[in-house]
Structure 1
């Protein structure tokens, strides 16, 4: 098996501990191991100088698996390497909440044994694809997002207006700090913290969630994932920010942003005993009450 390993590009004790366990397991299974070229620089000398470890800067379809070591943010960055190649992603959690990176450090050997034995399932996650009007098309390089695309204010404390059309029909103009368009995967991220709904990963929906709206009647809206969303920003400043997961670009207010469902999916590896509902209970502490 040909395995790519990606992680955070800074030294973290828990990450190094996880990587060592992971590498020991992979070499025991005679896997071909490739570390991302920057990530390997954060590892100890034994790994850095190992003849059994190779490096990669980009991926191709010859890889069987990508293992992300970190939190959910690390997986979002790992997705930019996988893109539309269809390489399954496994997340080892050395971060905090971990909706995507669900394997804990003390579970690495057990979980990967199941995966290498074929005892796993694939969760296909939809993505958002963004395009802009031609004069701004060269600004956005990696034009897809697994969690969300968000438009927000820049260099000002004043609100912006986000004019929103769905399939060419005018919806409203959100007067707010910004607007989030979230996938089901991203519904438990930024959108959730702004009051958006939790959406099951296999639901065919997206969510529009305003960020601190001043028109108090504005509420999150769930829309079909085959909807084309067109956005245009107005405000006191001439520019605004657009984030695609963790990647941020600055755009002029003359930019028209068009968002659709991407024509490919990301394959997340899940263990057979994992369910989304169990993850919600565990991560959001649903049903927990210190009085009981």
Structure 2
């Protein structure tokens, strides 16, 4: 089987875990490939021992059986962009911090590789959202696993985001910005702005205002079969939009709408993993914080 490795930021302290990963993959008969960014990280850290093939173009991704994201949740979001519509199963190895998406700890590397080799895992489909516009944005990578956001620039005054669901007027948000989140993204930026937690299998989007002027405005959950469109007004000429960690500056003349992408992200779920377990661990549910 063929496995690709992807990472954005490695440090010397991570190399024992990286070497262990290579050893386990090789011992189980995997043919190892590396993305260009992961190859650069290995060379920057002086690698001379690890052996792998370099993925020379994006089309070669389609030939992989798995891709392992080595980093934190930000790296896994970037891995989703690397995979794109090929829907290659992604395993998140967490050498970052939070780990809502990259759930495999480094001390479970031998176990995780063994599960992959034996086929002892499940594939969890995570819905993506798609941004449509009358301008080319984000170098044509116009989908996101977590969220799409509209935000004022820098210290400018708040903006007004007129929002429509399937062409029907919903609300005008006077706020610093607006978030449209997938169920996966409900544990991220949306949560920090008061949005609800949504289980991954829910077929919905959540619209969450950022610092709204009207305190009666609350997040709203809508069907992910909906198309959400926007018209933006403000004193400034430019506004910021983002897809996950990628951002761009636009003017109010740009048409924007969001809907569910046709393809999805396929995340590898190992035995004994459950989303509720991750919630309890990462959010410290069930712990008495008074001590």
Using structure 2 for the length normalisation, give the TM-score.
0.94
2:40 corresponds to:
41
2:197 matched residue in structure 1: 198
**Deviations 1:181-205, CA, capped at 9 Å, x for gaps:** 0000000011111111000000011
1:246 aligned onto 2:245: yes
Shift of residue 157, structure 1, vs aligned partner: 3.0
1:4 aligns with 2:4: yes
Are the aligned partners of 2:7 and 2:41 in contact in 1 as well (CA < 8 Å)? no
Query: Which residue does 2:111 correspond to in 1?
Result: 110
Evaluate the alpha carbon distance shift between residue 137 and residue 21 of structure 1 in structure 2; reply closer, same or farther with a 3 A threshold: same
Does the CA-based 8 Å contact 1:40-1:47 persist in structure 2?
no
Contact 2:32/2:52 (8 A) holds in 1:
yes
Name the counterpart of 1:64: 65
Q: CA deviation at 1:139?
A: 6.0
Residue by residue over 1:31-88, the C-alpha shift from the partner in whole angstroms, topping out at 9 and shown as x without a partner, is: 1111112222222689844583111242432110000000011000011111110200
Native 8 Å contact 2:137 2:248 kept in 1: no
Which residue is 1:78 aligned to?
79
Counterpart in the other structure of 1:132? 133
Q: Deviations over 1:229-256 (max 9, x none)?
A: 0012111111111110011111111112
Compared CA separation, residues 14 and 184, structure 1 to 2 (3 A):
farther
Aligned CA distance change for structure 1 residues 280 and 169 (closer, same or farther; 3 Å): same
| Secondary structure class of the residue paired with 1:91 | strand
Q: Which residue is 2:219 aligned to?
A: 220
Q: Does 1:170 align with 2:166?
A: no
Maintained 8 Å contact 1:72/1:98: yes
Mapped to 2, the partners of 1:51 and 1:194 lie a distance apart of 43
Aligned length: 289
Counterpart Cα distance in 1 of 2:241 and 2:231: 11
Distance 1:215 1:175 in 2: 7
SS of alignment partner, residue 19 of structure 2? helix
1:269 corresponding residue in structure 2: 268
Which region of structure 1 is more displaced relative to structure 2, 245-254 or 13-22? 13-22
How far did 1:218 drift?
1.0
DSSP 3-state at the match of 2:61: coil
Q: CA deviation at 1:155?
A: 3.9
SS in 1 for 2:241: strand
The gaps in structure 1 that reach 5 residues or longer are none
Q: CA deviation at 1:7?
A: 0.6
User: Greater CA deviation, 67-76 or 105-114?
Assistant: 105-114
Q: Does the aligned pair in 1 maintain the 2:160–2:233 contact within 8 Å?
A: yes
Residue 122 of structure 1 aligns with which residue? 123
Residues 155, 237 of structure 1: 8 Å contact kept: no
Is this contact kept in 2: 1:22–1:108, CA < 8 A? Answer: yes
Preserved contact between residue 140 and residue 249 of structure 1 (Cα < 8 Å): no
Counterpart residue number, 2:91: 90
Cα distance in 2, alignment partners of residues 165 and 84 from structure 1: 28
CA 1:226/1:286 → structure 2, altered by over 3 Å: closer, same or farther?
Answer: same
Tell me if structure 2 keeps the 8 A contact 1:2–1:33. Answer: yes
Question: Scaled by the length of structure 1, what TM-score is found?
Answer: 0.94
